[in-house]
C-alpha cells in the first residue's frame, strides 16, 4: 500500500470514529445503521447524495450528524409543519440548536430566528423549512447571504420523491427546489426518500441537478411487517369490522386512512362511541388542531388517528411506533400504501 493510500485510509478511519462519538454523545447509539455512515461521510466531504432508505431506517441521522460535525447551518426541507415541530422539539431536548420557520409561529419567534441567521456566527445548527418558504424571494435572498459567508454546510431534502412528476406524491412546491443548485453553488445536496422507483430516482437526481451523486439504497426486507387484505364488499359493516379489530389488538398505535374528510369525521365519531381513543385529521381542521392531534398521537394520548392524505405518509415514516396501518379506502396508487406501511 502506498503512503498516500495509507494516510487516506487512516484519515477516514479517524473521521468515522469521530462521527460515532457524536452519535453516541448526542443520540445514545453505539453504531450507525445501514448506510447512514456512507451518506454522512459523502455530504461532509462535499459530495451530493441520493439516499433511498425504508421508513424507520434513520434518514434524519444522515443530516443531523453532519450538522454537529462543524460550525454552520444545515438546511432541512420538510413537507409538513407538524413534522418539523416534532423533530425540532426532539433535537432541543438533546441540547441541539435547531429551529423551524413557519406561518404558525409568532412574529417574535420568527424574528429571533432571522436575527440569529443574520449574525456573524449563528448559533443554529439545523433549520427546518417548507419548500413553499424556499420559493419566496425574501428567504432565498437570506440563504444567498448565509451562503456568501460560507455558513451553509448542507441542504437536506426530505421526501425528495415529491419533486418528481412521475411519482405518486408529486408536489409543485418541491419542483421549485430545482433552483437551489444555481442559487447556492458548491453546497452539497442530500436527497432522502423511502420510495423511488428507478424512473423517479432519475427524475429526482436530474431535477435537483445533483452532481455525480453517491446513490445509496438500503435493504427493504422487513420481516416484521405482515399484510392482510379484507374485501369491504364482503363485510356486513366495515366500521364494525374495523372497531372489532382495533379492540382485539389492545392499546396499540394505529392510523386509518380515508379518502374523504366526512368519512374521517364519521369513523372517528364511531370509534369514540365504541370506547376507542381516536381523533380525526384532515385539511378541514385548523393548523393548531392538526398539530394537537399529531402531538397527542405521538405521545400515545390518542390511540388511533383517522386521516386523509393531509396527514402525510412522511408522518408515519418518521414515527417508528406505528403498529397498525389501516387504509379503509385506497388512493390512486398502491405504492402509497406500500411506503407508508414501512417499505
pLDDT at 187 over 90: yes
Q: Is the pLDDT confidence value at 321 over 90?
A: no
Indicate the domain borders of the chain: 13-217, 232-317
CA distance 318 to 64: 14
Average pLDDT, the chain: 85
Q: Return the C-alpha cell found at 269.
A: 365519531
User: What's the pLDDT at 283?
Assistant: 82
Q: What are phi and psi of 270, to 5 degrees?
A: -65, -45
Domain 13-217 identical in fold to domain 232-317: yes
At 225, the pLDDT band (50, 70, 90 cuts) reads: confident
Give the model's pLDDT for residue 339: 56
pLDDT bucket at 165, cuts 50 / 70 / 90 = low
Q: Does domain 13-217 have CATH number 3.40.50.300?
A: yes
Of the chain, the percentage scoring pLDDT greater than 70 comes to: 85
Cβ-proximal residues to 252 (8 Å cutoff; 6+ apart), any chain: 246, 303, 323, 324
Q: If you average pLDDT over residues 315-320, what whole number do you get? A: 54
Q: How do strand 73-77 and strand 152-157 relate by DSSP bridges?
A: parallel
Mean pLDDT of 260-265: 94
Where is pLDDT greater, at 296 or 165?
296
Residue 111 has pLDDT above 70, yes or no: yes
Level-2 CATH architecture, domain 232-317: 3-Layer(aba) Sandwich (3.40)
Residue 94: the pLDDT is: 95
Q: State pTM to two decimals.
A: 0.78
Q: State the pLDDT confidence band at 308, using cuts at 50, 70 and 90.
A: confident
pLDDT, residue 2, reads 46
The pLDDT-based confidence of 314 (bands split at 50, 70, 90) is: very low
Q: Average the pLDDT over 295-305 and give the result.
A: 88
Structure-model confidence comparison of residues 318 and 21, the more confident one: 21
The strand pair at 49-52 and 152-157 is best described as unpaired
Task: Note the pLDDT of residue 290.
Answer: 85
Q: Would the pLDDT of 138 be above 60?
A: yes
Amino acid at each position: 500500500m502506498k503512503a498516500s493510500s495509507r494516510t487516506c485510509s487512516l484519515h477516514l478511519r479517524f473521521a468515522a470514529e469521530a462521527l460515532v462519538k457524536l452519535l453516541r454523545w448526542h443520540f445514545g447509539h453505539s453504531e450507525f445503521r445501514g448506510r447512514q455512515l456512507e451518506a454522512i461521510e459523502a455530504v461532509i466531504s462535499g459530495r451530493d447524495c441520493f439516499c433511498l432508505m425504508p421508513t424507520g431506517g434513520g434518514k434524519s441521522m444522515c443530516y443531523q450528524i453532519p450538522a454537529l460535525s462543524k460550525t454552520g447551518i444545515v438546511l432541512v426541507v420538510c413537507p409538513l409543519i407538524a413534522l418539523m415541530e416534532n423533530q425540532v422539539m426532539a433535537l432541543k431536548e438533546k441540547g441541539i440548536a435547531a429551529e423551524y420557520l413557519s406561518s404558525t409561529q409568532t412574529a417574535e419567534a420568527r424574528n429571533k430566528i432571522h436575527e440569529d441567521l443574520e449574525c456573524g456566527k449563528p448559533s443554529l445548527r439545523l433549520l427546518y423549512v417548507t419548500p413553499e418558504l424556499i420559493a419566496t424571494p425574501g428567504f432565498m435572498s437570506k440563504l444567498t447571504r448565509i451562503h456568501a459567508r460560507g455558513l451553509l454546510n448542507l441542504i437536506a431534502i426530505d421526501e425528495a420523491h415529491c419533486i418528481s412528476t412521475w411519482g405518486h406524491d408529486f408536489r409543485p412546491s418541491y419542483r421549485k427546489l430545482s433552483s437551489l443548485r444555481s442559487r447556492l453553488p458548491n453546497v452539497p445536496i442530500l436527497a432522502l426518500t423511502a420510495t423511488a422507483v428507478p424512473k423517479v430516482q432519475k427524475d429526482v437526481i436530474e431535477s435537483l441537478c445533483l452532481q455525480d451523486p453517491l446513490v445509496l439504497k438500503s435493504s427493504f426486507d422487513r420481516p416484521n411487517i405482515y399484510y392482510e387484505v379484507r374485501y369491504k364488499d364482503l363485510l356486513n359493516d366495515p366500521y364494525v369490522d374495523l372497531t372489532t379489530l382495533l379492540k382485539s389488538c389492545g392499546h396499540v398505535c394505529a392510523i386509518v386512512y380515508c379518502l374523504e374528510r366526512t368519512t374521517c369525521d364519521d369513523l372517528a365519531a364511531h370509534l369514540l362511541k365504541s370506547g376507542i381513543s381516536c381523533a380525526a385529521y384532515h385539511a378541514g381542521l385548523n393548523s393548531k388542531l392538526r398539530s394537537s392531534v399529531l402531538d397527542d398521537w405521538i405521545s400515545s394520548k390518542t390511540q388511533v388517528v383517522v386521516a386523509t392524505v393531509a396527514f402525510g405518509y412522511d408522518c408515519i415514516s418518521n414515527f417508528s411506533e406505528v403498529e397498525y396501518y389501516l387504509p379503509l379506502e385506497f388512493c390512486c396508487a398502491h405504492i402509497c400504501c406500500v411506503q407508508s406501511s414501512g417499505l
